[in-house]
Each structure stands twice: as structure tokens, then as C-alpha cells.
Amino acid sequence: MKMLLAGEWVDRDETIDVRDPFDSSLIDTVPSATHEDVETALGAAFAARETARSMTTYDRCQVLLKTAAIVRDNVEDFARTIAREGSKTITEARKEAGRTVNTLTISGEEAKRLNGETIPFDSFPGGEQRRGHYQRVPIGVILAITPFNDPLNLVAHKLGPAIAGGNSVILKPATVTPLSALKLTEAFLEAGLPRDVLQCLTGYGAVLGDALVSDERVRMVSFTGGLEAGKHITTKAGLKKIGMELGSNSPVVVWKDADIEWAAETCVSGAFWAAGQNCIGVQRIYVHREVYDRFRDLFVARTRSYRIGDKLDEATDMGPMITEAEAERVERWIAEAVEKGATVLTGGARTGALVEPTVLENVPRGATIDSEEVFGPTVNLYRFDDLDDAIAAANSVNYGLHAAGFARDVEICFRLVEGLDAGSVLINDSTDYRLDSMPFGGIKGSGLGREGVKFSLQEMTEPKVVCWYLPGL
């Protein structure tokens, strides 16, 4: 596919192969953008601010709703693209494509709810005969940088609110999964978005990133990805807004009165969705000693029933990791944990990019797989006696995106809600539950700011105060 630069679909002599991680087959190629392309994109985006901001609210809404309709009408095509270029099975990919329709629809709706407020200027001496309000205005050029694991919906989570807010956008999708993003870009143009308002630049973040991120014409960098790249971007961005949606290492606490069958069932799904490459995937589960054995047996049995393999096969539950190198990293982390005393209850083996769904217990504090984000299909089980100890262990990592607790006793539920440090606490659901309209984001190393369309829209616009001094009043 070509990339969209300054209103034109262009290719370049140097291209990047997009391969299916299951069998390395070539799906397509995309241009490898150059530094000159970055300069062209920045100039075009800066010039397009006026086009973007002059779109009426009605026009922005219509473009977003039409784009949502195009994705809905072609949902199977979008799902197959997600499933082929990424790690998701076709079933998982269909869910992502469906959620993308929601994200774009919500963006269209929220465009109409972008309100200001009146300001009571006369509420202090000195404000007499003044009236005013604030309204929200676009911030200008937004740079959107997206990861591989939700290659369509996380792009929609940036483009939807950016366009709803009247901004021009440069999108830099993950290099391993650019096709879903390019198809969504096509859908926006088909829906009537002025061609210069959105650009999609394909190429390596490590090569193009600094020039894009540090440019003063960019007024916001909206980044979703790993902690390391996030930290780097933060140091390069300079004086501009940054939105950081980073990784996590999500904990679950299961109290002794919980519905154990449900907790095991939903946490297996939460751990192995997208082969564990999910920023809110379940990584650590703390289970009360009285119900530990039952939970473990149910969890392991369900994990063993998973079918792994070809993502396009309707019967497959879990596909490969995004690259063989990533699968090797997870294999190393498992081996390190075992060396330090962990036990593999099931899984643990790797073939190419496929890592078996893996359940570990007795993982010691200090093992990498305990403290860092694994972003792979492994989960650690721990026993606990005291709820405060479990909450402290759950909070012991430098992440805090989602956390979950399972219990029936309402007081225990409240102790979990109040004790678990995270952007969201899910009660009686796995950590990977998310609604596209809720505020979404984390604390500590999990990021800065919130997405979820309405909340991104606030970040992607700014208040402009209008004050009238009317001496005749």
C-alpha cells in the first residue's frame, strides 16, 4: 500500500515488508518514509490546520459517522487485515473492528458535545460589567503514534477525537502493522475528510521519531506504546502537550468468597487475549489460600483447552506473538523465573513466534516476569492469606493501568477499589475489560493523561476565554 503524504498517496523506492507473524508470508509492502517526507508532512499538516479548524461541527460529525459506516460495511475485510498483519485471531480481530465502529461513532457524537461554560466574571470585585465564557478550540497539529497490538481501534482512538476537535493529524502507525491504519485512512478520505487534514506516514519510529516529535509545529504528541519509547519521546517533545498511553503489568486479586468459576474463566481470556499482547492483559493473579487450589485447577484446565495456531482458522483461540524475537524474549523470561524457583503449571514451550499459553506459580519477587510488563501469553499465580498483603503485592510494580478484584462481600470490594492503585479497578471482571467511551489511562509508568473519546477530545482541544467589558451594563 502507499502512504498518504500531503494529500497524495505516494510510494518510495525503499519499502518495508509487512509479514504475517504466523508463517512469515509477505502480505504487502509500505513505503519507508524519509526525513524529507517528515518535513513535507510537517509543512502540510501545519498548513492544513486552517482546513481542519474551519470544518463545521456538523461536517466533522458527518465525516466520523460516515467513516464508522464504511468500517461497519467492510468489517470482515478490516478484521482480516488486523488478523493477518498482527497477532490476533480472526475472532479477536472481528471484535476489534466492531469496537472501531463504536470508537468512531462516539467520536462523531462527542464532536457535538464539545461545550464551554459561561464564566461569572462578576464573582469578585474588579469583574463588574464583564460577561464571558470559554469555548474549546483545536490545538493545531497532532502527531499520533500507535502500537501494533490493536492496529485499528487504537488508531481510531486518536484520529476520531483529533478530527472531532478540528485538528490536523500526522499518524505514524507501528511498522509491523501499518495496513489497518492505512485502510482506515482510506476510509476517512472516502467519507469526505479533506485530503490534507490527515496524513499517514509509514516508517521506523526510531528513525523518523525525533524529527516528528520535537518539531514545534506539532502541538501535541499522542503516543501509545511501550515505556521506553514513551520516556524517550517525553524527553524530545519540548514545550507541547503529550498524551502517554503506556504499558502495564495488571494484577487481579481473588477473595475467598468470589465466584471462582467465573473468575478463572474470565481471567484466562484476559491473560491470553491477543497472545497476551494487551496493555490491560492479566499478568499476576493473587488468590486467597482457601480457594487457591480450586482456582488453579480450573485456570490450568481452561488454559490447556486453548487451541493455538493459524489465526484465520475460526477454531483457533490464540495466535502467535508479533515476532519470533518477542517470543524468544518471553521464553527467556520464563526460563529466568524457573531458574529462580518458579514452577510451570502448563505451557512454557515456543515454536517460532508461537508461545504456548503459560501458567506459572511460585514466581519469586524480583523475577522479571513478576515486576516488568511481559506482554506475552504468560500469567503468574500467587497465594495469599491477608488482603492487605495481596493489595500491597498487586501495587508493587511501576505500572498502574487496570487492576481487578473478585469478591462478593461488598466491604472487601470497597477495600479493593480503594487499595488497588490503577487508572481503573474492575470488580468481578478481568483487567482486560474496557469500554471505548470510559476514561482510559494509567498512573506511574503506565502513562499520563486519559483516552476514551470524550477525554481525548478534552486533551486535543484547549479552552479559549472570551471576556466582554461592557461599561453600559
Would you name the residues annotated as active-site residues? 245, 279
Q: List the one residue out of 174, 159, 234 whose CA is nearest residue 456.
A: 159
Name the residue nearer to ligand NAP (CB basis): 167 or 222.
Answer: 222
Name the residue nearer to ligand NAP (CB basis): 228 or 389.
Answer: 228
Name the residue nearer to ligand NAP (CB basis): 62 or 323.
Answer: 323
- Element (H or E) spanning 229, and its range? helix 227-237
Name the residue nearer to ligand NAP (CB basis): 11 or 122.
Answer: 11
Supply the DSSP symbol for 6: T
Distances (CA, A) of 55 to 63, 166, 184: 10, 7, 20
Name the residue nearer to ligand NAP (CB basis): 166 or 209.
Answer: 209
CA 404 from chain centre, in angstroms, equals 18
Question: Minimum distance from CB of 230 to ligand NAP (Å)?
Answer: 7
Question: Minimum distance from CB of 97 to ligand NAP (Å)?
Answer: 16
Name the residue nearer to ligand NAP (CB basis): 222 or 316.
Answer: 222
CB-CB contact of 379 with 282 (8 Å)? yes
Question: Minimum distance from CB of 441 to ligand NAP (Å)?
Answer: 7
Number of residues in the chain: 473
Amino acid at 391: I
- Element (H or E) spanning 135, and its range? strand 130-138
Per-residue three-class SS string for 233-292:
HHHHHCCCEEEEECCCCEEEEECCCCCHHHHHHHHHHHHHHHHHCCCCCEEEEEEEHHHH
Distance CA 433, CA 429 (A): 7
Q: Which residues would be at the binding site for ligand NAP (CB under 6 A)?
A: 145-150, 154, 172-175, 204-206, 209, 213, 224-226, 229, 232-233, 245-248, 279, 373, 375, 401, 447
Name the residue nearer to ligand NAP (CB basis): 105 or 224.
Answer: 224
**Backbone angles phi and psi of 313, in degrees to 5:** -80, 125
**Backbone angles phi and psi of 466, in degrees to 5:** -120, 120
Name the residue nearer to ligand NAP (CB basis): 33 or 267.
Answer: 33
Question: Minimum distance from CB of 123 to ligand NAP (Å)?
Answer: 39
Question: Minimum distance from CB of 385 to ligand NAP (Å)?
Answer: 31
Question: Minimum distance from CB of 38 to ligand NAP (Å)?
Answer: 11
User: Could you write out the DSSP letters of every residue in 321-358?
Assistant: -S-HHHHHHHHHHHHHHHHTT-EEEE---EETTEE--E
Question: Minimum distance from CB of 221 to ligand NAP (Å)?
Answer: 8
Query: Counting beta carbons within 10 angstroms of the beta carbon of residue 115, is it exposed (0 to 12), middle (13 to 18) or buried (19 or more)?
Result: exposed
Question: Minimum distance from CB of 273 to ligand NAP (Å)?
Answer: 12
CB-CB contact of 403 with 394 (8 Å)? yes
Question: Minimum distance from CB of 282 to ligand NAP (Å)?
Answer: 13
Q: Nearest residue to ligand NAP, using CB?
A: 209
C-alpha cell at 85: 498483519
C-alpha cell at 192: 469526505
Q: Is 315 helix (H, G, I), strand (E, B) or coil?
A: coil
Distance CA 101, CA 12 (A): 31
Distance CA 25, CA 36 (A): 31
Name the residue nearer to ligand NAP (CB basis): 204 or 414.
Answer: 204
Q: List the one residue out of 78, 60, 205 whose CA is nearest residue 143.
A: 205
Amino acid at 86: G
